[in-house]
Amino acid sequence: MIYQIFAITWKELKVLSRDRAAFAVLFILPIAFILTMTFALQGLFSSGTDNNPLTLLVVNDDRGDLAAKVIADLGGVSGLDLVDRQNGDPLTRLGAEDLITQGQYSIALIFPADFSERIHTATGDSASGQALVSFITDPTVSNQMLSPARGMVQGYIEREASIAQAGEQTKDGFERMAASVPASQAALIREMGTRFAADQNQGHENLGVRYEVVSPAKYQAQRTPTSAEQNVPGYTIYGVFFIMQTIATSLFREKNEGTFRRIQATPISRAALLTGKLLPYYLINLVQIALMFGVGVLVFKMNLGSDPIALILLSLATAAVATGLGLFVTTLGKTLEQVSSLSTLLSVILAVLGGMMVPTSIMPDFMQRVASFVPHSWALTGFQDVIVRGLGVSAVLPVIAVLMAYALIFWALALWRFRFE
């Protein structure tokens, strides 16, 4: 019995070894996934370190000197890179917003003109006005990235505000106590000390600063996007591109069963044949997108933006890329096992590189450059422009054009390589 088990085992290993490509992918897939995810997540765990500093745009409109002191404090923080100039000139709020909308930076810190004035005025007056310090961010920036930066900035602002107010608090405290407590009475002197300490603590009730987190004015986002608005588009794209394996399975099955040869015997062009074969999968992709977004709306009350035409055009383009890539991948293998393994590998790796699993903003620079060539990344950018950033058709037309270019390239390569026999 043991001999029979070993004989069957040896036979199966020889069968697997004949399909070397599929056998190799069994090992390549987990290794590629480990490498890609580990590199992509380096930014998440190393963000804010010397090797991967957090970049913060800084606009100083303060008429006083307190904002400059805060900026100097922040400049000494390891792992924080401040950018306060553009083309040699001091950075303005409009310039910072443009840099964010262009995708070059993610967060900007704005000190208002009355920053110092409000802090000094707030001394001892808990009802006085407050300076509004703004954090301008791309709506797609996660709280994991924003919160440490905001906490650090607020800590240094409160430190400088407390120092600035301490002198006034001390002076006011002694004046009030000198006017109300006779110096000749020891008991009252001790009471004076108690009141002085209480006075110092009271002064910190209002530092004269409040904070807001807003999006660039160009974006129409009126609120912080929900988890669904951030995640549903990404996982929708991830699911759409899994059509590659379904297309490969269908074509190889028809070739093995002889159905494909019988269809070729009919008076139909090869392009029309492949188009007819892929059209059902294209429609399935569109149904997938509609279904997933429908779940997001019904279950999570997800907002779909203000331009449904933009969403429709993006969906049509994304589905075209997915089916075109599916047909092209089918031409890269000789067996169903090879193509199935390859399509799984590409589905996962391209999803990671495209920002479906890890935000591209936290990836290393070289991976961000690679992501700019991945169709998934373009599709995600388009959907986020509409759903998260509140933009319309005119803003996403370049994205749609790039996606359609990818679709045409994949179709052309597939027609060139496809084995009709």
3-state DSSP assignment of residue 220: coil
**Which pairing describes strands 107-111 and 54-60: parallel, antiparallel, or unpaired?**
parallel
Spatial neighbors of 342 by CB under 8 A, at least 6 apart, are: 21, 25, 329, 332, 333
Token pair listed for 355: 């920002």
Is 199 within 8 Å of 172 (Cβ atoms)?
Answer: yes
pLDDT at residue number 179: 54
CATH superfamily of 54-171+201-214: abc type-2 transporter like domain (3.40.1710.10)
Q: What whole-number distance in Å separates Cα of residue 139 and Cα of residue 129?
A: 28
pLDDT at residue number 342: 81
- Cα angle at 210 between 209 and 215, to 5 degrees? 135
pLDDT at residue number 40: 60
DSSP 69-87: HHHHHHHTSTTEEEE-EET
In this structure, the chain runs to a length of 421
DSSP 104-131: S-SEEEEE-TTHHHHHHHTTT-TTS--E
Could you read off the pLDDT tens digit of each residue along the chain, which spans 421 residues?
676 666 666 765 666 566 665 555 566 666 766 766 666 666 555 555 556 678 899 999 999 899 999 999 988 888 788 999 888 889 999 999 999 988 888 899 999 999 988 888 776 555 567 889 999 998 887 777 788 888 889 888 988 887 777 655 554 554 555 555 555 544 454 455 455 544 554 445 567 788 988 888 888 765 666 778 878 898 899 889 988 888 888 777 777 666 667 666 666 776 777 777 788 889 999 999 999 999 999 988 888 888 999 999 999 999 999 999 988 888 887 777 778 778 888 888 888 888 887 777 777 778 888 888 999 999 999 998 899 888 889 989 999 999 999 999 998 898 888 776 6
DSSP 2-23: HHHHHHHHHHHHHHHHHSHHHH
Q: What whole-number distance in Å separates Cα of residue 231 and Cα of residue 387?
A: 11
Domain spans in the chain, listed from the N-terminal domain onward: 19-44+224-417, 54-171+201-214
Instruction: Give me the amino acid identity at 181.
Output: V
pLDDT at residue number 129: 73
